[in-house]
């Protein structure tokens, strides 16, 4: 609904949460209770977001395009592919498993325990018996498609994903997106429902929180 993403940020409380857009990977989680709540993620004009939903709750994160998936073009000399992969592993893959900061308190492994601990009430929020489903919001390749007529359609067709190519150099075949999928199967098992939701990233650097500019925002309620 129009404006609800902005509401989750501008009028945040324990039932309306916006994932903070701060340095590093950030996340928020919410257990499903008797009171309706919402989690929103804004600013996806090139960044990616992983959303995991189960019968017990939801977890949403924000992953920066730069520096996690791609290097800042002002860095001279540019990092090698091996250096970029190390940054990706540190800022994307590692936080999937365990929380990395006060704005990323729980990783998915922390919340998917098969044998939950009574002293850790969030430890089974996304456990296998809660039927978790995983959704990855990630951009199409920006530099190759702006002139294709359907690029800015809500559901473009036939466009390449930005980070689905082999990394190159002497690095094994897996792309960045392939490595995310492997991480999800390691955490949740090989049969976890997993869906990639691509979007056309904004070309003007406009970070809009209002929901009149999908696909730059994602709202879960």
User: Which pTM value belongs to this model?
Assistant: 0.82
Which two structure tokens, joined as six digits, stand for 42?
Answer: 């804004």
Which pLDDT value is given to residue 203? 62
| pLDDT per residue as tens digits for the range 138-157 | 998 876 555 676 776 767 77
Q: How confident is the model over 89-97, as a mean pLDDT?
A: 95
pLDDT at 221 over 70: no
Beta carbons of 137 and 216 less than 8 angstroms apart? no
Contacts of 42 (CB under 8 A, 6+ apart): 5, 6, 9, 18, 19, 21, 207, 208, 209, 216, 217
Which two structure tokens, joined as six digits, stand for 221?
Answer: 């309620």
Which pLDDT value is given to residue 144? 55
The stretches of the chain forming alpha helices (DSSP H) are 4-10, 81-88, 94-97, 176-188
pLDDT at 30 over 50: yes
Which pLDDT value is given to residue 215? 46
The lowest-confidence range among 4-18, 101-115, 130-144 is 4-18
pLDDT range class, residue 7, cuts 50, 70, 90:
very low
User: Strands 49-53 and 133-139, how do they pair?
Assistant: antiparallel
Q: How many percent of the chain have pLDDT more than 70?
A: 75
Which pLDDT value is given to residue 28? 92
Q: How confident is the model over 117-138, as a mean pLDDT?
A: 87
| pLDDT per residue as tens digits for the range 61-78 | 999 999 999 999 898 899
d(CA 130, CA 91): 27
Question: What DSSP element (H or E) covers 125?
Answer: none
Q: For 123-147, b where at least 16 C-beta lie within 10 A, e where not — what string? A: bbbbbeebebbbbbbbbbbbeebee
């Amino acid at each position: 609904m129009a404006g609800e993403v902005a509401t989750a940020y501008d009028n945040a409380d324990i039932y309306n949460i916006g994932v903070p857009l701060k340095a590093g990977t950030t996340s928020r989680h919410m257990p499903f209770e008797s009171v309706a709540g919402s989690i929103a993620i804004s600013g996806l004009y090139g960044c990616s977001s992983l959303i995991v939903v189960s019968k017990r709750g939801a977890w949403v994160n924000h992953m920066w395009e730069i520096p996690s998936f791609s290097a800042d073009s002002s860095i001279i000399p540019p990092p090698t592919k091996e250096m970029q992969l190390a940054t990706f592993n540190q800022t994307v893959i590692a936080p999937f498993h365990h929380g990395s900061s006060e704005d990323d308190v729980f990783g998915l492994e922390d919340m998917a325990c098969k044998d939950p601990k009574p002293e850790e009430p969030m430890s089974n929020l996304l456990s296998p018996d809660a039927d978790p489903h995983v959704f990855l919001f990630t951009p199409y390749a920006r530099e190759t498609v702006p002139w294709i007529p359907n690029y800015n359609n809500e559901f473009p067709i036939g466009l390449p994903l930005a980070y689905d190519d082999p990394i190159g150099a002497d690095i094994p075949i897996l792309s960045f997106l392939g490595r995310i999928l492997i991480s999800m199967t390691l955490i949740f098992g090989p049969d976890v429902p997993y869906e990639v939701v691509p979007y056309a990233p904004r070309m003007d650097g406009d970070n809009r929180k209002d929901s009149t500019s999908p696909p730059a925002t994602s709202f879960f309620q």
